[in-house]
Amino acid sequence: METKPRTAPQRGFNFDYIMWLFTRLSALGMYALAFVGITAALLMGARQNMSLADLMRWGFMPESTHVINTNITNIEAWKSLFWQIMGVMMVLLAAGHGFHGLLNVIEDYLSSARLRATLRLVVLGISVVMITVAIYVVFTA
């Protein structure tokens, strides 16, 4: 079976360019969220004598169950809307970035158009389920 080569994407402001831009900006957004999370965790942890491991764990994925096993007396400060929004933003950026990368791998290495379309739908379904579960966990934990 002979496969046809795919055509190069069009130049200009199109969907491929928007997704390329999203990948770069989502990576920068994740760096910014990690910086803000670590800085805020350092400020909050300094008042409560947290260890560096707890600070890093909290800074990269803020969730109140991460600090339950520490010697922190006030866990309610870690359950604020700020930390929930930070967690949801990190989930959305990381999931979008990762799933877009997976779609790029599918596009680059599979030549069958039907298989690519099927796997795109599978990836879309998995991403919707995983993002929904992650957001549920962030708001209910």
pLDDT digits (tens, 9 = 90+) for 68-86: 566 666 667 767 888 889 8
Task: Determine, yes or no, domain membership for 93.
Answer: yes
* pLDDT score at 7: 67
Give me the domain span that covers residue 115. 15-140
Q: What is the pLDDT of residues 5-55, one digit of tens each?
A: 666 666 677 888 888 899 999 999 999 998 888 787 777 766 667 777 777
Task: Determine, yes or no, domain membership for 96.
Answer: yes
Task: Determine, yes or no, domain membership for 9.
Answer: no
Helix, strand, or coil (residue 11): coil
Task: Determine, yes or no, domain membership for 74.
Answer: yes
Longest CA span, the chain: 67
CATH number at residue 33: 1.20.1300.10
Whole-number average pLDDT of the chain: 81
Residue 59 has pLDDT above 70, yes or no: no
pTM across the whole model: 0.74
Q: Number of folded domains in the chain?
A: 1
Task: Determine, yes or no, domain membership for 1.
Answer: no
% of the chain beyond a pLDDT of 70: 73
Task: Determine, yes or no, domain membership for 63.
Answer: yes
Task: Determine, yes or no, domain membership for 87.
Answer: yes
Task: Determine, yes or no, domain membership for 6.
Answer: no
* pLDDT score at 1: 54
Q: Count how many residues are written for the chain.
A: 141
